[in-house]
Structure 1
């Protein structure tokens, strides 16, 4: 009977603000690393021509690559920014913003963790750092999901464009796009759980204050006596 009652209590003890902070920071750091790698990969788009099945074309935000069995993988960087399509240029900018904001967010959240000493009497500063880190990580996740979703939408529209001849090959989704979706979701989840950790910490501090604060001392009641004189 007592063991069954102790199991939920043990689960609640494990779910502390400190544990949620570390879990959210771990998830956010994983999403940030994945976003950085995805930004550099030339595997956003893939294309295989029916005329020459031995050639596979790949395109990313920075490189255009071709893979053949004779030569292997050969990549070439885009030469001019002005020659880039507007969607590719905007996606490149957004991914760079994502990496920068995610890096700042993880750094701010790290110094806001419980157990990381930054000076005496710094509870309010740590809370501010956690909130700032959550906002920056959230921005990083959104700026990762927006460009990959925009590129995916344009690819779908062009793939089913009836004005283009059927012989012309179409771009298809590459592995980096799925990686970008996954990393963006990780960043959004990590930033959200930082907000949850802040709310849990505020609730725990409020409960601790109510428990350890002594009740207000009641003032002693004064009795007023009516003075009577005996004549």
Structure 2
């Protein structure tokens, strides 16, 4: 369960980073020119033409962006940072990690903290993606906009962001379940046996047993 949870969280974190920088949050096709497609992300807008290829331009002003794009930038960067911290903390709390081998309670707390960080990272990624999708739907069906004006539609990055967010949430939940199901007495006895084997058999007076 720990391996599956950490793998899902790692996959979600990588996809979240890709979603943050992909310029495909919104797509728009022009009916008058089917050979020209527009895409928009959090950092830049691109136009794709068959003859010229892809041309992208970064947004000049952060404050000039719509509110959903400004806040989405902050939330996605925060999600990536929380996911990175979750990887570090949960990695130290795994059973295969040698850090704090004799302090099983500390490893359990670190694993739970890592799961909470992953869960928070997933929610922080789902919120901006869903917000941009909601605004896109509202603008698409806005009757105040003339029908001749091209409408923005869902881009591939939105679906990637949803998958990344749910992977982080599921991975964090699995890590928390694995940490809560850990049996501290069995683990402590295991480390106690390992310690006795490393120290070797000794007699009560402190001298080594010659029969061993």
Instruction: Give the 4+ runs in structure 1 shifted more than 4 A.
Output: 206-209
Aligned partners of 1:206 and 1:67: how far apart in 2?
Answer: 62
2:29/2:150 contact within 8 Å kept: yes
1:188 is matched with which residue: 147, 150, 169? Answer: 169
Q: Which residue of structure 1 aligns with residue 193 of structure 2?
A: none
**Structure of greater Rg:** 1
Aligned partners of 1:81 and 1:208: how far apart in 2?
Answer: 52
1:205 aligns with 2:197: no
2:106 is matched with which residue: 78, 101, 125? Answer: 125
Q: Which residue of structure 1 aligns with residue 66 of structure 2?
A: 85
2:44 is matched with which residue: 63, 81, 93? Answer: 63
Partner secondary structure for residue 107 of structure 2: helix
2:93 is matched with which residue: 97, 106, 112? Answer: 112
RMSD across aligned C-alpha pairs, in angstroms?
1.4
Superposed displacement of residue 207, structure 1: 7.2
Unaligned runs of 5+ residues in structure 1 are: 1-19, 210-231
Number of equivalences: 188
1:142 aligns with 2:123: yes
Aligned partners of 1:116 and 1:85: how far apart in 2?
Answer: 45
Q: Which residue of structure 1 aligns with residue 204 of structure 2?
A: none
Aligned partners of 2:95 and 2:107: how far apart in 1?
Answer: 8
Where does 1:148-227 land on structure 2 (aligned, <5 Å)?
Answer: 148-201=129-182, 204-205=183-184
